[in-house]
């Protein structure tokens, strides 16, 4: 390698790694992108190799959706980078896994946030992520005790995108957890905002009750959520907004997990549009996080 910095990624994130390297170029001199190679043996084990030689500063870009498949290979790659002379190793994980379980809700449960957070802190000098789903722990540093732990927000980029696509939108959060996202996206833009009430009757049974103090009839609704997993909450919100006479219903999502049949169900719901950031590679991606992530990497160096 002849670069001053290298952005490594697994093959599924090669495109995002190239964009991040390009965004870092002016600040960090020569920055290139390269792939980590993985060979999977028949017994399920992996052989992981990083390209060598490597510069002193290396970024590994790896969004941690499907974490049980990715974490072992990520830790092996980090170890290989260290063994080949890397002095400062930064993890850029636009989507960060295992952040919800920050306490033992029932006797005998592992507190996975602490376990995974410590693993990442031990392997990396810095961790950069985007809009992590934190609950009782409010600072990323509390979850990941690395020397640098940065939680960035995509809300400004999402607000810019909505402003370019929808005239006089009404941002609708599907539950009270989404209040922070709709408020941040609307900040300084004059967007109208509202937050619905969610009633969860089961893992796949969700009811949404629209707020009584604002009418959605004839409005251009943009549903806002940080994570779309099963999609049931969004589906219920789409149904409620359409039933109330919305002129259009679109959705914008930070992390497009779309587990199981979530994506075909959302497509069948006939939303006017479904937009997401590229924190997780998906056909709905319209917002590149590369400039935001580059700022985070620069703050870790």
Is the confidence at residue 3, as pLDDT, over 80? Answer: no
pLDDT reported for residue 201: 62
Which range has highest mean pLDDT (120-129, 136-145, 176-185, 197-206)?
Answer: 120-129
By 3-state DSSP, what share of the chain in percent is helix, strand and coil, each rounded to 5? Answer: 35, 30, 40
Q: For the residues of 265-284, what is the DSSP string, one character each?
A: HHHHTT-SEEEEETTS--TT
pLDDT reported for residue 202: 59
Distance (Å, whole) CA 195 – CA 186: 13
Instruction: Give 48-107 pLDDT, tens digit per residue.
Output: 999 999 999 999 999 999 999 999 999 999 999 999 999 999 999 999 999 988 888 999
Band the pLDDT of 278: cuts 50, 70, 90: very high
- 289 neighbors 265 (Cβ within 8 angstroms): no
**Mean pLDDT to the nearest integer, 168-180:** 92
Q: pTM score, two decimals?
A: 0.94
Tokens representing 277 are 């950031």
Instruction: Give 33-52 pLDDT, tens digit per residue.
Output: 999 999 999 999 999 999 99
Distance (Å, whole) CA 128 – CA 207: 34
Distance (Å, whole) CA 191 – CA 206: 27
Largest CA distance in the chain: 62
Distance (Å, whole) CA 31 – CA 180: 35
Is the confidence at residue 209, as pLDDT, over 60? Answer: yes
Tokens representing 172 are 């609708």
- Spatial CA neighbour of 96 closest among 135, 120, 63, 69: 63
Is the confidence at residue 2, as pLDDT, over 70? Answer: no
């Amino acid at each position: 390698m002849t670069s001053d910095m290298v952005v490594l990624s697994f093959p599924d994130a090669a495109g995002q790694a190239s964009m991040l390297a390009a965004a870092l170029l002016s600040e960090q001199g020569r920055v290139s992108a390269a792939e980590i190679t993985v060979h999977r043996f028949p017994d399920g084990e992996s052989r992981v190799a990083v390209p060598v030689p490597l510069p002193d500063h290396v970024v590994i870009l790896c969004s941690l959706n499907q974490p049980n498949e990715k974490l072992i290979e990520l830790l092996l790659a980090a170890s290989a980078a260290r063994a080949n002379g890397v002095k400062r190793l930064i993890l850029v994980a636009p989507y960060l896994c295992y952040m919800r379980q920050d306490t033992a809700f029932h006797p005998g449960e592992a507190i996975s946030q602490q376990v995974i957070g410590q693993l990442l802190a031990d392997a990396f000098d810095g961790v950069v992520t985007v809009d992590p789903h934190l609950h009782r722990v409010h600072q990323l540093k509390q979850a990941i005790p690395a020397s640098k732990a940065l939680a960035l927000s995509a809300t400004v980029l999402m607000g810019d995108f909505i402003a370019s696509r929808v005239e006089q939108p009404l941002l609708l959060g599907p539950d009270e957890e989404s209040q922070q996202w709709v408020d941040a996206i609307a900040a300084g833009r004059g967007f109208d905002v509202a937050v619905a009430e969610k009633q969860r009757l089961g893992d796949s049974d969700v009811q949404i009750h629209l707020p009584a103090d604002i009418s959605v009839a004839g409005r251009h609704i943009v549903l806002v959520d940080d994570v779309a997993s099963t999609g049931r909450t969004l589906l219920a919100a789409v149904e409620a907004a359409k039933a109330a006479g919305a002129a259009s219903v679109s959705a914008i999502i930070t992390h497009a997990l779309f587990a199981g049949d979530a994506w075909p169900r959302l497509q069948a719901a006939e939303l006017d549009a479904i937009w997401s950031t590229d924190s997780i590679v998906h056909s709905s991606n319209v917002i590149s996080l590369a400039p935001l992530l580059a700022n985070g990497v620069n703050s870790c160096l």
